[in-house]
Amino acid sequence: QVQFVESGGGLVQAGGSLRLSCAASGSTFSIKTMGWYRQAPGKQRELVARISSGGTTTYANSVKGRFTISRDDAKSTVYLQMNSLKFEDTAVYFCNTWLPRPDYWGQGTQVTVSS
């Protein structure tokens, strides 16, 4: 059974940076395309970035140039470096496979950006 545990969120001022981590259990991590998602209050969950097993990355237009997704398969961990944070980046951030599996959602990590 696969389980994802997100960490690294917090309160940061606009313009600041945070680095999120997602630790995965399960022996098939290295063959999965992984994604970071976020859900703001009153909004649907959306894909922020994804990274293939080969390292190909894709970003939502709203975060291009500011966020960087990376992975360390030896540690079964995927990261999200977030720079130049904006108030509208405030959300709970989750990781999951791409496409996401309903049974893989974790608790997420809260990111709050103060303006």
Q: Is the peptide bond before 47 cis (omega within 30 degrees of 0)?
A: no
Is the pLDDT at 65 greater than 90, yes or no?
A: yes
- Closest by CA to 63, choosing from 8, 12, 11, 18, is 18
Is the pLDDT at 86 greater than 90, yes or no?
A: yes
Residue with tokens 């950006």: 113
The per-residue pLDDT for 27 is 64
Is the pLDDT at 38 greater than 90, yes or no?
A: yes
CB atoms within 10 A of CB 111: 22
Is the pLDDT at 46 greater than 80, yes or no?
A: yes
Read off the pLDDT of each residue in 55-66 and give the average, rounded to a whole number: 98
State the Cα angle at 74 between 53 and 33, rounded to 5°. 20
- What CA dihedral angle connects 92, 95, 97 and 99, to 10 degrees? 20
